[in-house]
Structure 1
Amino acid sequence: MDVLINLINQTQGRDRIFRATQYACALSVYSLRNNCEQRDLVDILKSLEANMNAGRKLLRLGNAINSIEAAKRAVRLSDRVLCLCLTAANIYRALYFLCDNTLWAGNVGLIRGIDKERWSFNASLYYLLSLITSLTRDVYVIWQLMAQRARDKCFRQKMETHLNESPEVADVIIPQLDAFLFLLLHSLKSQPSVILDTIKNICDLSLPLDKLGIYKTNAGVIAFCGLVSSLIGIVTLIQPKLKIKP
């Protein structure tokens, strides 16, 4: 119960709970779309989904400033690749929140005469760019982990033992590929935060790709990916050690 209370007391926690609820409703609506007997339930779920989305819009007001501050911190990183990736990701995220907040202000009538389609397109584009740079960071971190493992003598012996004990693998998989996969899996096992962050970013890609028309998919896939991403976000808030750093 204390964990739940602490989560709800955080703005990010409330946003992720709202987001998970929103996508859970969307996934339920998609699964019940052909069930004529559940039309009342579908209407309730659609209404709840819309309310969760509206609530999240309010919670995201001011997030652009947080992203700019995160970009300032990323500039100070000694690792140039991480510095570039994280700075760019946070700048793109700040631009995304700026577009999203402007759209919200236009929808509620605070700003009149804005080109909503253009602002929506820009928001999706900046969101996509932030995810691409975040995934680039994930790939770089994974590569570093693999390089560290490969230099470890004990691990190299373990990998050679694995290859020698599984000669039948050579008939199906190229030995070098088997060694690469063995190294990759053991590197990721040592840092579950990297796995979670990578899965989260990959899942989030479905929304901007669909909105921009780059890779169209159905509402069910988008809802499922959004739900998985939201649950991972909740887990990393409850267990900070599972959140990738920096």
Structure 2
Amino acid sequence: MDAFIRFTNQTQGRDRLFRATQYTCMLLRYLLEPKAGKEKVVMKLKELESSVSTGRKWFRLGNVVHAVQATQQSTHATDLVPRVCLTFANLNRVVYFICDTVLWVRSVGLTSGINQEKWRMWAARHYYYSVLLSLVRDLYEISLQMEQVAHDRAKREKSLSQDPLGYSVAKEEREWLQSFLLLFRSLRKHPPLLLDTVKNLCDILNSLDQLGIYKSNPGVIGLGGLVSSIAGIITVACPHMKLKTN
């Protein structure tokens, strides 16, 4: 219970819970819509989804400051590729949160002279760039992990080269199987990297749909958003599972 209280006391924790609720409603609504007699349930899910989405905007109002701080921190990364990717990803997040704040101002009626569709597209575009750059960073980190695992494996095979059985079994593995096993072992050794990659892959589905690059149905978007939200909840609840900047 103490852990749950600490989690919900954090703005990011509450936002992740709201986000998980939002995408769960979307997924359930998609699954129930084709079924007869579920109209009232679908309508309630739609209303809850809309309310939660509006509530999440309150939690994001101060995120511009956090994004600026994250940009400053990412410039100190020692490796060039993560430094460039994360810096530009966080800069795009700054622009995204500015657009999101403008949309919130328009939605609460503080001003009416804002082109809502234009600002929504700008927000979606910069969010897409942010997620894409984060995903590039993940792929780079995966490649480094795979190189390390391959290097360790080569050392083991060299030490076992005097063992005919061990050597023949290694030689019988197909190329595609070797690559898959290499990827699996790399991600298994680095759970934060796996979690971050899954989260970004799921997040990019929503951006591709919003920008019209690749249209998905609400079921796919809802499932992807739910998985991404669960990954986010894990990183907030367990900080050691968050991918660190080298």
- TM-score normalized by the length of structure 1: 0.91
Displacement, 1:36? 2.9
Inter-partner Cα distance in structure 2 for 1:162 and 1:196? 33
Instruction: Name whichever of 142-151 and 129-138 sits farther off.
Output: 142-151
1:163, 1:179 within 8 Å by CA — same for their partners in 2? no
- The corresponding residue for 2:181 is 182
Residues 180 and 35 (structure 1 numbering): CA distance in 2 closer, same or farther, change over 3 Å? closer
- The corresponding residue for 2:214 is 215
Inter-partner Cα distance in structure 1 for 2:86 and 2:167? 37
- The corresponding residue for 2:242 is 243
1:188, 1:194 within 8 Å by CA — same for their partners in 2? yes
Q: Are 1:72 and 2:72 matched, yes or no?
A: yes
Inter-partner Cα distance in structure 2 for 1:46 and 1:232? 24
Identity %: 43
Q: Are 1:192 and 2:191 matched, yes or no?
A: yes
- TM-score normalized by the length of structure 2: 0.91
- The corresponding residue for 1:164 is 168
Q: CA RMSD in A?
A: 2.0
Gaps of 5+ in 2: none
What letter is aligned with 1:120?
A: R
Q: Are 1:125 and 2:125 matched, yes or no?
A: yes
Displacement, 1:186? 1.1
Displacement, 1:155? 4.6
Displacement, 1:167? 6.3
2:157, 2:167 within 8 Å by CA — same for their partners in 1? no
Inter-partner Cα distance in structure 2 for 1:41 and 1:113? 36
- The corresponding residue for 1:61 is 61
- The corresponding residue for 2:31 is 31
Gaps of 5+ in 1: 170-174
- The corresponding residue for 2:223 is 224
What letter is aligned with 2:168?
A: N
What letter is aligned with 1:185?
A: F
Alignment of 1:142-153 (within 5 A): 142-152=142-152
Displacement, 1:95? 0.7
Inter-partner Cα distance in structure 1 for 2:94 and 2:133? 13
Aligned residue pairs total: 241
What letter is aligned with 2:216?
A: T
Residues 45 and 162 (structure 1 numbering): CA distance in 2 closer, same or farther, change over 3 Å? farther
- The corresponding residue for 1:172 is none
Alignment of 1:126-141 (within 5 A): 126-141=126-141
Displacement, 1:37? 1.4
Runs of 4+ more than 4 Å apart: 153-163, 166-169
Displacement, 1:88? 0.7
